[in-house]
A and B are shown apart, each in its own frame.
Chain A
Amino acid sequence: MNEDRALLLYGSHARGDADAISDVDVLVVGPSLPSMDEIAASLPISCRRHVHTSHYTWMEFSAMSNYGSLFLHHIAKEAVAIRYEGNAQERLSNMLTSLGPYKLADRDLSGFRSTLRDVNTALRAGLSPCFELAVLGGVARHASVLGCYVAGSPSFGRSSIARAANLFGMDDAQKDLVFAHRFRLFEEGQCDPPGTVSQSDVERIHGVLSNFLDRLEIMIYANPG
């Protein structure tokens, strides 16, 4: 059966800045996901380990393009084609070239702030500081990607935290936020434990990230649409 299906490499391996802890990110757009063996066989030999696959149907991809998904902006900016089947190249190209601006920045900011409130509650209840720091690391990364995009300087890699901190005039926050993000990578199984962490460390980094979100909010309202 002929199916329109696109396989693309994105993330650090597509950008050329992969390191020892980088996953190989593969996007599949189409009605079905090929087997992992088939996907791996399509990749260069150096990219066949730690493959992480994201699969979207054309309908899901179209829905994401309607709100100018940041993920699709990421794909449009950096992805490299591995293989196109059927009419996939034209369909993908049409969606990505007509991609509008991201429309959900306010909602994302609200989600980031709610997540920070949850972390506060969890810390007060004595839940795992290590996990809560990983949560903060995730917010730092997502807020940085959004901040860079809103500022007109898109950056989707791990370096987005440093770039956003610079754009926000918060270079001194970079070290803490990168440290928190290392726990996020640890949570995702991408690296060894980055070290020990106390509740007071997490509370301090929570404060730094809260200020970071304040700067993001200013950036969003200064750059509507």
Chain B
Amino acid sequence: MPTLDDCLGLIAAAKASAREPESAYVLRTRLKRTLLSVGQLAAEYAGVAAPLMPDDIERVSTEHPLSSRVLRTCAALLGKTRALCQPSEALDSRWRSGWQALCEDLDVLECTLMTFKAQIGR
């Protein structure tokens, strides 16, 4: 199961690849990996079954407030990722123009995870 530091590292890796416009293909996979890992971490913390694949995140249900917030953020990001980059065209010009919105959501996710880290640390 991924650790919180693993998840923060994956977010950083996704952001780093976004600075290179040629790496949209890599970025898409990095984003999915990040969301899956964060989703697994949040599910484990809430004591519910962890998602096996990124799309499963939308089906994870918990009343744990912080995990629920993390999962909702992941699900929203996943939806945007899906809409932006369609499977038939791996390197889509639309991806680049939509990256800014995704990056803002990743910032939100990162902040939520930092809150998570602070709570776990207590």
Contact = CB atoms under 8 A, between A and B. Distances in A.
Q: Is the interface of B mostly helix, strand, loop or mixed?
A: helix
Given A54-B86, A69-B89, A127-B6, A111 B53 contact: no
B25 A187 contact: no
A6 interface: no
Nearest to B82: A188
Given A114-B26, A127-B37, A131-B36, A108 B52 contact: no
A118 interface: yes
Contacts of B89: 54, 64, 69, 71
Interface in B71-121: 86-94
Contacts of B55: 187-189
B67 interface: no
A130 B40 CA distance: 13
Contacts of A128: 36-37, 40, 52
Interface string B1-30: 010001000000100010000111110011
A220 to B, nearest CB: 16
A130 B53 contact: yes
A135 B37 contact: no
Contacts of B26: 111, 114-115, 118
A118 B90 contact: no
A136 to B, nearest CB: 10
A203 interface: no
A179 to B, nearest CB: 16
Interface in A124-141: 125-128, 130-131, 134-135, 138
Given A107-B22, A118-B30, A131-B53, 4 more contacts: A60-B94, A108-B90, A114-B25, A125-B6
Interface of B: 2, 6, 13, 17, 22-26, 29-30, 32-33, 36-37, 40, 52-55, 86-94
